[in-house]
Amino acid sequence: MTRVDKVSPFVQLDYGPPGTLFKRPRLWRLTIGLSIAAGAAAITWITGLLGWQAAPPDMNLSLSLGFLSLGGIAIAMYAVVRDLLHVEWARFSADGLQIRWSYVPHLWDTRVAKEQQWAWRDVVHLEWREGSLEYDLKQHLVLHLEPPLAVGRNRLKLLVCDDLNAGRCEALMAQLPTGVVTPSWLAATRSRRQDNAAYST
């Protein structure tokens, strides 16, 4: 969702609160991942204990248990190494940007919410990025911030829209500093609009 304020001009990209059912999401992810991996290992051990290995091994069962175990390990590792950073909203104005986000700093912690403002001079790099595939219409802003959002998290990729929403993108581009390259499709839309205006007059 995008909000445009007409009194104090800014554009806000809303992403909503993080979707979580647990008070300590990283710890729960670790528990779930290890449980899945342990369950797959237990099934493998039980089938061997019952003497099923005397028969030709069931390739489908072996592959399924292997993938299940790898999936559980991946979930557990993700919980250990990722802080589950989630941007709730980002507000852009002529002076800079303000971001509200939340993250889980440690494995046993609850989610912590923070809010910070950056002047445009503190944005090391700002790039508008279009979808890399023909049918990928998503538009993103890629920012490199100083100081970073969290430890080692100075790069941020924000979704602007899922489709070619000219009105939303025009409003946001108007708040960005000069030098940001206008996406090709938006430049073509502007050109057609100018041509139509000139033709109508």
The answer on 146 and 186 residing in a single domain is yes
The answer on 103 and 75 residing in a single domain is no
Note the pLDDT of residue 140: 94
The answer on 168 and 144 residing in a single domain is yes
The answer on 65 and 32 residing in a single domain is yes
Judged by DSSP in three states, 152 sits in coil
Look up residue 106 and give its DSSP letter.
S
Per the structure, the count of domains in the chain is 2
The answer on 96 and 66 residing in a single domain is no
The answer on 31 and 98 residing in a single domain is no
pTM of full prediction above 0.75: yes
Q: The domain that contains 10 carries what CATH number?
A: 2.30.29
Output 103 or 5, whichever has higher pLDDT. Answer: 103
Q: Domain of 166? A: 2-18+84-200
Helix pair 166-173, 184-200: axis angle to 10 deg: 100
Extract the tokens encoding 177: 């500093």
Between CA 90 and CA 191 the distance in angstroms is: 29
Judged by DSSP in three states, 46 sits in helix
Note the pLDDT of residue 7: 47
Note the pLDDT of residue 20: 73
Q: How confident is the model at residue 58 (pLDDT cuts 50, 70, 90)?
A: low
Note the pLDDT of residue 66: 85
* Window from 109-118, 120-129, 178-187 with minimum mean pLDDT: 178-187
The answer on 129 and 77 residing in a single domain is no
The answer on 91 and 14 residing in a single domain is yes
